[in-house]
Structure 1
């Protein structure tokens, strides 16, 4: 046992040792990095790589051409990953979502392009730009719905990505940090979506929000039109329903043929950023994330390769003037297993467009 004097001396020694060693400990300690500022190893490198371009263009069975796409000239891997905003949809959200199928007796053309099939609908051929925001899930949905308003109601309207992106909230996901395509369509059923004129994605003076600069942030939901004489609720356009389309290529083609473009989600690899022309199939590079686009048609190349025709929202500087083709019938990158859509509704349209549209559909 220690005496009281020995005990005091022991405490004094511990105190002196602690004080003497504290400054050294402070110097050696490393600050905990902010997770928002941390970039994964390699993510600060450029997404466009000469090695990938050479690999694709030398590959005997690639079937497509890679190039230095100007749209991603200054993008890092981290920035590229961020714009791939499709989150994996929880099975619980899909359990009660119907999947449409079509009779095999329905005859379909060997080639189809929604732009020419409904040539009066200018929105089908419009290529947009999502900026640095992971809003592809919202773009794909809004673009398809506005196309279908033209196809079924002969209305050329541009609907608001910003409304869906900023106002759907947790129901759809995380705004510029990604979302669920099927929930975007459910938002159309429950809340509708205003026109782009009422709530534009970009300000009139140029690209101000939600992410032309890498310091992206989801826009705030204001629920008021930027045009002073327009009323938010009066500018809403709705969908009757929200559904999936069966993954069989025949069902997907039948849906497009009868009702118009559909929204599809697929897995993006590094080589996809380099796409320029031809029928894409994954050749090289790692997984970057999930992306949603608009599927507008199909066809077969002279070499006999079946393909899907899709419109991207990375402006016309990327790919084949903003479009791309991907191999059809092989579920390439999961392109055929996550197809969603909905039918346009006349709800709210009697008030705004007259009685020609009949009774509102709830």
Structure 2
């Protein structure tokens, strides 16, 4: 009897040790798989760290982000997906500090439209049920602001490129760097707003081309000799009535429109595909351009946004975001401060 109890006790210990060993091995295998995934990601995005300590720090951030993304996608309870993109080794605060830029350190918060009481599209009633300005040739390829917080410049330029094409028939890629360097009423890589960019463009008699004044991802000195050759001009700009998605629809039906948005949340950071429904609030910190709208098969309406984070983010650089939500500000605040240039 004693021998039998002893054998059972030894068996239990062996089983316990075996289970513990298998768990350790599983954790080790999982950890190694994550290490390999990080190494592959580094190669894909050309990421090099200054030392082992920095690499370990970035690995832990990467690991947390990947686990969150995979958990979100496995839940399958949202109309959109996330992906491991080029921001995967940044925590959300780091991402927000570098890759947004709407009104960060910009002077003032008050809108100063060149036509405060005018909204030229207020009587527009005949709008198509869906629209994509890309199909009309009014949208340049996706650009990338990189580590410079000048989304405001990319948003303003995209809207200007659109109206220039619609009015002149010519689609010209214009210079964001000219705005970053020369528009002293905004703050370059430290942030800005589109209305002030439109003011600068009007007063400066236009913008030059991207090829003449290429983007450098830094705050630079204004090269007046390059800016002296504008390729497109505007006569002014107008603000879309605030907190009014119907008014925004009337404007977008006629031209691409610059909008401010809260684009710093982790779901926005890793958005990959589908119709984005949040989570987000109305703390405006990013700028994009609305280039169209439509409706999904289930009847959910959406806006089509052009972003400035490269083609590796979202749907090749674009996002579908829910339209006609209950909140008057629009999802993520996109109906709060929309504006567009005029010719």
2:176 is matched with which residue: 115, 140, 161? 161
Structure 2 residues without counterparts, runs of 5 or longer? 1-56
Deviations 1:64-105 (A, max 9, x none): 111112x22343445411221001774544377345264566
Deviations 1:146-182 (A, max 9, x none): 121111111221211111111001x12x110111111
1:307 is matched with which residue: 302, 307, 311? 302
Does residue 239 of structure 2 align to residue 256 of structure 1?
A: no
Other-structure match for 2:7 = none
SS at structure 2 position matched to 1:198: coil
Q: Radius of gyration: which is bigger?
A: 1
Distance 1:59 1:161, change over 3 A: same
Deviations 1:15-61 (A, max 9, x none): xxxxxxxxxxxxxxxxxxxxxxxxxxx99974771343245325565
Query: Whole-Å Cα distance in 2 between the matches of residues 294 and 200 of structure 1?
Result: 20
Offset, 1:125: 4.6
Other-structure match for 1:128 = 143
Residue pairs, 1:1-362, within 5 angstroms? 46=61, 49-59=65-75, 61-69=77-85, 71-81=86-96, 82-87=98-103, 90-94=108-112, 97-98=116-117, 100=119, 102-103=121-122, 106-116=125-135, 118-119=136-137, 121=138, 124-169=139-184, 171-172=185-186, 174-191=187-204, 192-201=206-215, 209-210=216-217, 217-225=218-226, 232-235=227-230, 237-246=232-241, 247-258=243-254, 260-268=255-263, 269-283=265-279, 290-330=285-325, 331-344=330-343
Query: Whole-Å Cα distance in 2 between the matches of residues 287 and 244 of structure 1?
Result: 18
Structure 1 contact 43–76 (Cα < 8 Å) conserved: no
Structure 1 contact 136–313 (Cα < 8 Å) conserved: yes
SS at structure 2 position matched to 1:143: helix
Structure 2 contact 80–271 (Cα < 8 Å) conserved: yes
Distance 1:221 1:46, change over 3 A: farther
Distance 1:237 1:103, change over 3 A: closer
Query: Whole-Å Cα distance in 2 between the matches of residues 271 and 58 of structure 1?
Result: 14
Distance 1:92 1:291, change over 3 A: closer
Q: Decide which structure has greater helix share.
A: 2
User: Runs of 4+ in structure 1 displaced over 4 angstroms?
Assistant: 42-45, 58-61, 286-289
Structure 2 contact 282–332 (Cα < 8 Å) conserved: no
Root-mean-square deviation (Å) = 2.8
SS at structure 1 position matched to 2:167: helix
Query: Whole-Å Cα distance in 1 between the matches of residues 183 and 58 of structure 2?
Result: 30
Structure 2 contact 66–88 (Cα < 8 Å) conserved: no
SS at structure 2 position matched to 1:292: strand
Query: Whole-Å Cα distance in 1 between the matches of residues 272 and 111 of structure 2?
Result: 35
- Paired residues, number: 275
Structure 1 contact 46–77 (Cα < 8 Å) conserved: no
What TM-score does the superposition give when structure 2 sets the normalisation length? Answer: 0.72
Offset, 1:274: 1.2
Query: Whole-Å Cα distance in 1 between the matches of residues 228 and 285 of structure 2?
Result: 32
Structure 1 contact 194–236 (Cα < 8 Å) conserved: yes
Offset, 1:254: 1.8
Query: Whole-Å Cα distance in 2 between the matches of residues 107 and 61 of structure 1?
Result: 36
Structure 1 residues without counterparts, runs of 5 or longer? 1-41, 202-208, 211-216, 226-231, 345-362
